[in-house]
Amino acid sequence: MRKKKVFLIFGTRPEAIKMYPVYKELKKYKEINTKIVITSQHQEMLKQVLDIFDMKADYDLNVMEDRQTLTKITMKVLDGLKKIFDKEKPDLVLVHGDTTTTFSAALAAFYEKIPIGHIEAGLRTHNKFFPFPEEINRTLTDTLADLHFAPTNSARKNLLKEGTSEESIFVTGNTIVDVIQEILNLKTDTTPSIVKNDEKFIIVTAHRRENWGKPMQNICEAIDFVSKKHKIQFIFSVHKNPLVRKTVKNILGKNKYIKLMEPMSYTDFIPLVAKSLFILTDSGGIQEEAPSLHKPVLLLRNVTERPEAANSGIVKIIGTEKENIIKNIENLLSDKEIYNKMSHVKNPFGDGKSGKRIATIVKNFLTEENTYGIL
């Protein structure tokens, strides 16, 4: 009997991290041939994760180029996957999240009538430009998908409201919880070498398209002000995007209280976050990571597709106005009641067994009688 062929397709570091638990579990099934296709939408940062988790790419589309456009990424992914699909004829394609790689890969699979599984399905802000282009990427991917792996009941409800078949939706938890548990279990010394044992510091990450320009300037000026006023250390993991780097270095480059870091390996970053006071970010993924680490998050956005984090209390949406950023940072620094209330919440994103749940569903879909209504 021919092994069933599953392709995991991704292009960025966050996708690779969250795909790892699924890959790890699928590899345990002898009846499934699991292959990885990377687009290298983010090249250096993606390869770093593959090395850490010992994930070998079977194909690399290598779409990365300087100042690449969304249109060009989409075209390259569609063209590259067409050739691979013609050769390999996979039985199922798995994509993750909301990147341009995610949507393009789902569209390429749809054109070849290959079933699609969407991991982290159902996230919504209900505003197509916030975040851009992620909101439309994930919405269209869900429209194309045959199996929807929703991380939470809230995501499931979003899918049902849009008319998604209830039989195709599986609430699995978020695979990031699996990854963080594994990393923290492996690390015997979680004191990051770049900080002293007793040093207090705040983590910063910011990179989203909607924050380029004036919003990024506001973020940096707020950090500059608070760091000098309170003599508090900020560790800023600076994204590779040249527009982000220019703004950050121009405003914060000479501030002695700011450590500007190149993007760290994930196994170094998570223990660093675990030692921090709290996190200032516009990231989607960090909202999911914070509950496992009991770290408050001040979210530099006006909306979130992860309302579970905000509803639990560990994430506060503060936008990108300079004075509001300053006020919220100072509140967390000075008010223990606010800090304790935000940091001690139940994790809304699962129990660390999401990868196993997804792999089991995939195995059943491929090897048992098809009850999902997919040809």
* DSSP for 120-172, written as a single string: TTT---S-TTSSTTHHHHHHHHHHH-SEEEESSHHHHHHHHHTT--GGGEEE-
Among the listed residues 98, 94, 156, the one whose alpha carbon sits nearest the alpha carbon of residue 122: 156
Kindly report the backbone phi and psi dihedral angles of residue 145, in degrees, each rounded to the nearest multiple of 5, phi listed first. -75, 155
- Point out the catalytic residue in the list 96, 118, 124, 207: 207
- pLDDT per position as a tens digit, 69-122: 999 999 999 999 999 999 999 999 999 999 999 999 999 999 999 999 999 999
Mean pLDDT within 59-76: 90
Does the pLDDT value for residue 352 go beyond 50? yes
Does the pLDDT value for residue 275 go beyond 60? yes
Does the pLDDT value for residue 358 go beyond 50? yes
Q: Is 207 a catalytic residue?
A: yes
Rounded to the nearest 5 degrees, what angle is found at the Cα of 249, between the Cα atoms of 248 and 253? 120
- Point out the catalytic residue in the list 98, 142, 146, 308: 98
Please state, in angstroms and rounded to a whole number, the distance separating the CA atoms of residues 97 and 18. Answer: 9
Quickly state the pLDDT bin for 46 (edges 50, 70, 90). confident
Quickly state the pLDDT bin for 64 (edges 50, 70, 90). confident
Among the listed residues 196, 176, 182, the one whose alpha carbon sits nearest the alpha carbon of residue 275: 196
CB 32 within 8 A of CB 107: no
- Point out the catalytic residue in the list 60, 134, 142, 146: 134
Name the token pair of 335: 């008010």
Mean pLDDT within 49-70: 90
Does the pLDDT value for residue 351 go beyond 70? yes
Q: Which of 37-46, 151-160, 201-210, 348-357 has the lowest mean pLDDT?
A: 37-46
Question: What's the pLDDT at 267?
Answer: 87
- Point out the catalytic residue in the list 88, 209, 245, 330: 209
Domains and CATH numbers, the chain: 4-174+351-367 (3.40.50.2000), 192-343 (3.40.50.2000)
pTM of the full predicted structure?
0.84
Quickly state the pLDDT bin for 298 (edges 50, 70, 90). very high
CB atoms inside a 10 Å sphere around CB 24: 20
Quickly state the pLDDT bin for 147 (edges 50, 70, 90). very high
Please state, in angstroms and rounded to a whole number, the distance separating the CA atoms of residues 136 and 207. Answer: 18
| Maximal CA-CA distance, the chain | 69
Q: Is 230 a catalytic residue?
A: no
- pLDDT per position as a tens digit, 188-221: 554 556 777 678 999 999 998 889 999 999 999 9
Cis status, amide bond into 131, omega within 30 of 0: yes
- Point out the catalytic residue in the list 25, 120, 210, 308: 120
Mean pLDDT within 43-47: 78
Mean pLDDT within 253-267: 92
Computed over every residue of the chain, the mean pLDDT equals 92
Question: What's the pLDDT at 1?
Answer: 66
Mean pLDDT within 225-229: 97
Kindly report the backbone phi and psi dihedral angles of residue 338, in degrees, each rounded to the nearest multiple of 5, phi listed first. -60, -45
Rounded to the nearest 5 degrees, what angle is found at the Cα of 41, between the Cα atoms of 133 and 287? 55
- Point out the catalytic residue in the list 124, 239, 301, 357: 239
Q: Is 209 a catalytic residue?
A: yes
225 burial level (CB within 10 Å; 0-12, 13-18, 19+): middle
Question: What's the pLDDT at 216?
Answer: 95
- The residue with tokens 């709290």 is 278
Among the listed residues 212, 224, 233, the one whose alpha carbon sits nearest the alpha carbon of residue 276: 233
Please state, in angstroms and rounded to a whole number, the distance separating the CA atoms of residues 152 and 311. Answer: 13
Q: Is 67 a catalytic residue?
A: no
Question: What's the pLDDT at 222?
Answer: 98
Highest mean pLDDT pick, 12-21, 180-189, 191-200: 12-21
